[in-house]
Amino acid sequence: MTTLTFYGGCGEIGGNKVLVEDRDARVWLDMGSTFDFGSEYFTQYLMPRDRFGLRDYFALGLLPKLPGLYSQEWLDRAGFAYEPPRFSAAFISHIHFDHTNHLKFLDPAIPVHLGVGTKIILDSWEITTRSMDLLSHDYRTFRTGGSVDADGLEVEPIHVDHSAPAAYGFLVHTSAGTIAYTGDLRQHGPHGEMTRDFIEAAKTNEPIALITEGTRVAPQDPRANFTEALVKSKSIETAGKATGKAVFATFYPRDVDRMRTFVEVAKGVGRRFVIQARAAHLLLSLAQDTRIQVPDVLRDSDLLVYDRQFERQDTWEKNLFAQLGDRVVTSDYVRAHQDELVVQLDFTTMPELVDIQPLPGSSFIHSKSEPIEENDEVEAAVANWVRFFKLKRFQYHASGHMSETEISDMIRAIAPKTVIPVHTEYPGRFTRFASHVVQPRVGDPMPMG
C-alpha cells in the first residue's frame, strides 16, 4: 500500500513536509518550516526551551512525535526516546527556509538529497551567516536527468524555474503509480523552459496524483504579474531618471536571477553595482556550478562589494576582500559617488544609510513581494527608513510562483487522477479547475491507488 501523509503546507503557504510510504521506503519530500512556525506561542523573548530539545515543540503539538526521525541531540532531554532512523531519505526541492528549515531536527544519519546548486548555496549561507546549523547531514547531490533509489523507491528530480536557483520538482515512481510534486515553481522567470520540462515529464508519466503548490491561488492575488524582464526595464527607467542621486535596490538575498537583473540595470544606465559581501560570496560559490549563470564577481569591473567595516572580519570576508582589491568599497566611497552607483541594501543593512547619507529624492527599488501581512514588522521598519531618508519608493518584483491561471493550465496539461494542493491558503479553490481534489489534513495518511 502507498500512502501520503502531510505534516505541513496544509492550508498554509510554506512548511512543506510530505511523507511518501511505499513498500520498504519512507521518504520525505521537503522538510520545511512555516514562516510563522510556533508564533502562536512564541515571540521575541518568549522562546522554546531549546535546552530541553524538542520537549516544548512536542507538548504544544508543533512537531509530530515520529520515532526514528529526529536526532539524538534534539531528543536527549525531550522525554521521547531516540531510535535509529526509520526513514529512507529526505528530498529537498530548493533552498528556501519553508522547504528546508526543519532539517536541523533530522537525524543526521538520514540521507538528504538535494540539487548540486542547492548544496552550494547552503554551504555559502552557512559560512556567511552561521544561522542554519545544517552542516552535519549526509548530503547527496542530484541533477536533472538522474534519479535516486531510496530503499526501492525511485525519485526523479526535474528542474523548475523559481526565485532560487537549483529548484526542482519530483516524480516519485511508487508501486501504485507516479506521484508528481511541484515544489515551488513559476513560468514567467528567466528559466520558464525548465518548468515546462517538468510539466512535460509529469504529463508523460500519467501521474496518479499531483501535489502542487498554490501560493497565488487566491480570491485576490496581491502579486503583480511582472516578468523578470519587466523588473529590469522598469528599474532601468527609474535609475535612468535618478540623475545626480543614489539608487538602492532591495531583494531576497538568495535570488540570484534578481542579482543578475540589477547588474544589468546598473550597466544599462552606466552605473556600477555595489553588492553586499554575503551576496558576493554566494555568487562566487555558485560560479563553481557551470550550469548556473551568475555575474562574475572576480572579473566584472562594474561590480563592487560593500565593506560594512566590522571591527573583526571573518575569514571568509577577509579572503573575499583580498581577492577583489580596490573593488571593495565603504560607505565613504558610496556617499561620494552615489550618483554613479546602484546599491544593494537588504533589510539588515538599512543602517548603512546613516553613513551613506543619500541625497533626498534618491530612489529605493523594493524588489520583493509587497508585504501581505498588515503587521509585518520588518517591512514597516524598512518603510520608516525609506521615509526618514526621503527616498522615493518603487515596487518592481517578479514573483517566484505561478499565477492561478498558470496553475490551472498546468493541472490541465498534466491531467493527474488526483490533485493535492499544498503551500496555499485556499486549497478549496482548486475544485474550480480540477475535477478530483483531495485536501490534505495534517498527520492524516492518504491512501494512494
Applying CB under 5 A, which residues contact Zn ion?
96, 184
CB of 63 to Zn ion, least distance (A): 21
CB of 98 to Zn ion, least distance (A): 6
- Give the span between the Cα atoms of 186 and 405, in whole angstroms: 12
Grid-cell match 577577509, residue found: 318
Q: How many residues in the chain?
A: 449
Contact 282, 316 (CB under 8 A): no
Nearer of residues 107 and 184 to Zn ion, judged by Cβ: 184
CB of 131 to Zn ion, least distance (A): 17
Nearer of residues 96 and 281 to Zn ion, judged by Cβ: 96
CB of 46 to Zn ion, least distance (A): 28
Cα 413 versus chain centre, distance = 26
What one-letter code names the amino acid at 360? Answer: P
- Give the span between the Cα atoms of 86 and 88, in whole angstroms: 7
Nearer of residues 32 and 85 to Zn ion, judged by Cβ: 32
Phi, psi of 62 (to 5 degrees): -80, -25
**∠ Cα 303 245 276 (to 5°):** 30
- Burial-class residue 432 by CB neighbours within 10 Å (0-12, 13-18, 19+): exposed
Phi, psi of 333 (to 5 degrees): -65, -45
DSSP state of 312: S
CB of 397 to Zn ion, least distance (A): 14
H helix intervals, 95-189: 97-100, 116-129
Nearer of residues 100 and 276 to Zn ion, judged by Cβ: 100
Nearer of residues 292 and 448 to Zn ion, judged by Cβ: 292
CB of 421 to Zn ion, least distance (A): 16
Nearer of residues 11 and 443 to Zn ion, judged by Cβ: 11
